[in-house]
Amino acid sequence: MVCTVRGLVKTYPAARGRRGAPATPAVRASDGIDLDVVRGEVFGLLGPNGAGKSTLVRQLTGLLRPDEGHVRVLGHDLVRHPERAARLLGYLGQDSTALDELTVALAAETTARLRGLETRAARAERDAVIEELGLGEVAGRPLKKLSGGQRRLACVAAALVGERPLLVLDEPTSGMDPVARRAVWAAVDRRRAERGVTVVLVTHNVIEAETVLDRVAVLDRGRVIACDTPAGLKALVADEVRLELVWRTEPPLDVPEVAALWKTVETARAGGGAAGRRWTLRLPPDDARAAIATVTGGPAFAALDDFTLATPSLEDVYIALGGRAEGAEGLVKA
Amino acid sequence: MSVMPAVSGVSGVSGARGGVPGVSGASPGLSGASTVSGVSGVSGVSGVSGVSGASEASDEVGEVGDMPAPLAARARLFPALVAVYRAQLSRARVARIPLLFVATFQSIGIMILMRGVVDGGSEARAVVAGSSVLVVAFVALNLLAQYFGQLRASGGLDHYATLPVPPSAVVLGAAAAYASFTVPGTAVTAVMGSALFQLPMTNLWILIAVIPLSGAALAGLGAALGLLAPRQELATLCGQLGMSAALLLGVLPAARMPQVVSYARDLLPSTYGVEALARSFDGQPDWWVVCADLGVCAGVAVVSLAAATWAYRRAAVR
Ligand SMILES: Nc1ncnc2c1ncn2[C@@H]1O[C@H](COP(=O)(O)OP(=O)(O)OP(=O)(O)O)[C@@H](O)[C@H]1O
Ligand SMILES: [Mg+2]
């Protein structure tokens, strides 16, 4: 067991209102979290904005002291000895500004030196990680002058230098293009394969979550509402499929079958009056088949622009588990 | 728009207009969920996604005893300090050169102004010494307080807090970088001042001791202010106030100050650097007194750097 969390509670205290700034209530950002992460797995934390993902990983890395509960990482009690975290794990914060004025190469080298490497080893690691992540072209430029995705990639580079058995990455690929993202996942995977490195990461990208993660914990309002393999989570809703219908303008609610479908619509978006032009339905396969027959034949067909039928994704799981509806939007930030 | 792995049947092209909509089977390589299109095979729900090696804890028996894993080596103080120093100096080169010019011109301007007020002698020495050390105060106290205030406010301390570096390495490295960055400005100011007031330059080598010692004392103070201030704006404000104090108490001749103000002057770390430098302009400086001043300066430097390190620890571990 690389990482064990039991009964973790963290409340941000209420802030009194100052002039111009309204008072904010206390926020229970971790509300009794239990987690187990085993060696060599890529463990994902998924959830809407404000779910408490960053708060959780900051407690895993000894940066934030929990109000209650235990955090054990590689056999060390990090609540009692938070300073040991720096010698056990590599951390990438959600927004990292400490390196902003350094060049990419110097940021990686300095971080390696501060992880305790000798000068020569630090330079070798610097060159290796710059090569690995394809940062060669921007290596001599200060982070501040890079694009958002490049800067993030440089921060990932700094997080990866110096061997650590556990990597904790808070949204490592946010803002990156597919090539950069693939480079990051390849680098993470290589460390896992070659050295058995364990990775705990926060992500909003559902597609990525399905492909790179071994297990996923879905967080909502400071609680873990589900924790399983992506396939296991999808099995929770596997007896349903998702049907999306797009109407050209107004949905033809005067057609009785369509009016019946409208009652089961889960979300409706994008204009088109009260009913919305874009419908998402979650149905048993037979019902979905019947629904498609209805909308592709008969009078409704004239109003239909497009339809999609898909097996459930993690997003569907999230919604089925009772995540907030507006949170579902936040889940898909890519 | 949804980011579902499913590729929509006729998106955009709108097959519904042409014929039977929604025939697609392609699911992008990334996705685990397969898309079932059209009307057939809907029940073929596949959930093959990259599950591997995540079996439950059964194969972890070897570690259930919870033998703590070995801790990686700490970064040692001196190499870490050098690494921070190098990094800080490189960022200073980019970002701080204009400010160094400002600091130098400010000091030179003050000396030119004061030339109409003081008439040589000990007051002129005090003005030149005070203006030279003011450059140190500007950079080491004011800018460093701003830097640490901003680092703390933006969460940048997290980066250092998750690296196994001694806190003193971060504080001392940054302080040393800022202090050494003041060297050219201070030297230029001292030389210009000596020329302006016709003071002997023979003993200006004392700057070799004055700059690092008063630099360390002021940088420690600046770092502590920046790290202790509850908000970033307050850190900036404290830095500015500290510099104003160094300006007023260092440059204005001490003899003309009211009693209370001269106590404040005794408390300011830069004062002893100013005194040492001012004395070295004498024809025959009393080296013992100069050394005593520098000794006080060194003592204050140790105290203020220790305070800064304590403040850093306090800020980093919340
Ligand atoms: N320093 C803080 N002081 C007070 N409240 C905070 C603080 N940091 C976070 N919160 C609150 O705690 C909750 C959880 O925040 P957290 O940053 O952990 O969310 P998150 O899941 O990482 O969200 P995101 O996806 O946007 O990064 C939010 O409601 C947030 O407003
Ligand atoms: Mg976050």
3-state secondary structure of A103: strand
What order do you get walking across the sheet with A42-46 strand by strand?
A89-92, A166-170, A198-202, A42-46, A215-220, A223-228
Q: Answer yes or no: do A243 and A224 share one domain.
A: no
Q: Does B162 touch chain A (CB under 8 A)?
A: yes
> What is the C-alpha to C-alpha distance for residues B189 and B183, in angstroms, rounded to an integer?
10
State the distance from the centre of ligand 1 to the C-alpha of A222, rounded, in angstroms: 10
The per-residue pLDDT for range B205-215, each reduced to its tens digit, is: 889 989 989 98
Task: Please give the sequence-ordered ranges of beta strands (E in DSSP) within chain B, or none if there are none.
Answer: none
Mutate to test the pocket of ligand 1, among A9, A11, A27, A57 (most ligand atoms within 8 A of CB): A27
At residue B42, the pLDDT reads: 35
Strand partners for A72 = A4, A77
Higher-pLDDT residue of A129 and B21 is A129
At residue A248, the pLDDT reads: 84
A318 domain-assigned: no
Q: Which of A177, A209, A234 is at the close of a domain?
A: A234
A257 domain-assigned: yes
Q: Closest Cα to atom 17, ligand 1: which residue? A: A54
Tokens of B217: 């004392």
Q: Answer yes or no: do A101 and A195 share one domain.
A: yes
> What is the C-alpha to C-alpha distance for residues B149 and B155, in angstroms, rounded to an integer?
10
CB-side exposure of A128: number of CA atoms within 13 Å? 14
Taking the alpha carbons at both ends of chain B, their separation in whole angstroms is 40
Q: Answer yes or no: do A177 and A66 share one domain.
A: yes
CATH at residue A301? 3.30.70
Q: Answer yes or no: do A194 and A282 share one domain.
A: no
Taking the alpha carbons at both ends of chain A, their separation in whole angstroms is 32
Q: Answer yes or no: do A219 and A268 share one domain.
A: no
Q: Answer yes or no: do A166 and A249 share one domain.
A: no
**Is residue A277 within 8 Å of residue A270, measured between CB atoms?**
yes
Higher-pLDDT residue of A254 and B1 is A254
ipTM beyond cut 0.90: no
Average pLDDT, chain B: 76
A322 domain-assigned: no
Q: Closest Cα to atom 6, ligand 1: which residue? A: A12
State the distance from the centre of ligand 2 to the C-alpha of A283, rounded, in angstroms: 33
A92 domain-assigned: yes
A321 domain-assigned: no
Best of B1, B2, B172 to disrupt the A interface (most A CBs within 10 Å) is B2
Q: Which residue's structure tokens are 């040589």?
A: B120
> What is the C-alpha to C-alpha distance for residues A249 and B143, in angstroms, rounded to an integer?
60
Does residue B1 surpass a pLDDT of 90? no
Exposure string of B67-98, with b = 16+ CB inside 10 Å and e = fewer, is eebeebebbeeebbbebbbbbbbbbbeeebee
Q: Answer yes or no: do A243 and A230 share one domain.
A: no
Closest CA to B251 of B237, B260, B239, B261: B261
A55 domain-assigned: yes
Q: Answer yes or no: do A208 and A247 share one domain.
A: no
Give the H/E segment covering residue A220. Answer: strand A215-220
Q: Does B295 touch chain A (CB under 8 A)?
A: no
Q: Does A313 touch chain B (CB under 8 A)?
A: yes
State the distance from the centre of ligand 1 to the C-alpha of A67, rounded, in angstroms: 16
The per-residue pLDDT for range B52-107, each reduced to its tens digit, is: 333 333 333 334 445 787 888 788 888 999 999 999 888 766 667 788 888 899 89
Packing angle, helices B144-153 and B167-181, rounded to 10: 140
CATH at residue A97? 3.40.50.300
Q: Answer yes or no: do A205 and A82 share one domain.
A: yes
State the distance from the centre of ligand 2 to the C-alpha of A56, rounded, in angstroms: 9
pLDDT-flagged residues of chain A (< 70): 266-275, 322-334
A194 domain-assigned: yes
Tokens of A151: 């800067």
At residue B94, the pLDDT reads: 65
Length of chain B (residues)? 318
Q: Which residues numbered 144-203 in A keep a CB inside 8 Å of some CB on B?
A: 162-165
Q: Does A111 touch chain B (CB under 8 A)?
A: yes
Burial label for B193, CB within 10 Å (0-12, 13-18, 19+), is buried
- Cβ distance of A292 and B22 shorter than 8 Å: yes
Tokens of A65: 């002291």
Q: Count of domains in chain A?
A: 2
Packing angle, helices B287-316 and B270-279, rounded to 10: 160
Chain B hits for A306, CB-CB cut-off 8 Å, are 8-11, 14-16, 21-22
The per-residue pLDDT for range A157-194, each reduced to its tens digit, is: 999 998 899 999 999 998 898 899 999 999 998 999 89
pTM for the predicted model, two decimal places: 0.76
CB-side exposure of A322: number of CA atoms within 13 Å? 5
- Cβ(A55) – ligand 1 distance below 6 Å: yes
At residue B188, the pLDDT reads: 92
- Cβ(A47) – ligand 1 distance below 6 Å: yes
Please, which residues have CB within 8 angstroms of residue A261's CB and are 6 or more apart in sequence? A245, A279, A281, A291, A294, A295
- Per-residue confidence band for B240, with pLDDT thresholds at 50, 70 and 90: confident
**Mean pLDDT to the nearest integer, B125-136:** 89
**Is residue A331 within 8 Å of residue B42, measured between CB atoms?**
no
Best of A118, A228, A237, A313 to disrupt the B interface (most B CBs within 10 Å) is A313
The per-residue pLDDT for range B26-41, each reduced to its tens digit, is: 333 333 333 333 333 3
Q: Answer yes or no: do A209 and A286 share one domain.
A: no
CA trace torsion A321, A327, A331, A332 (10° rounding): 120
Q: Answer yes or no: do A259 and A123 share one domain.
A: no
At residue B255, the pLDDT reads: 72
**Mean pLDDT to the nearest integer, B284-292:** 87
Closest CA to A269 of A198, A329, A334, A199: A329
Supply the range of the domain harboring residue A192. Answer: 3-11+27-234
- Cβ distance of A305 and B16 shorter than 8 Å: yes
At residue A241, the pLDDT reads: 82
Q: Answer yes or no: do A31 and A48 share one domain.
A: yes
Does residue B10 surpass a pLDDT of 50? no
A54 domain-assigned: yes
- Per-residue confidence band for B317, with pLDDT thresholds at 50, 70 and 90: low
At residue B116, the pLDDT reads: 80
At residue B74, the pLDDT reads: 81
Higher-pLDDT residue of B180 and B25 is B180
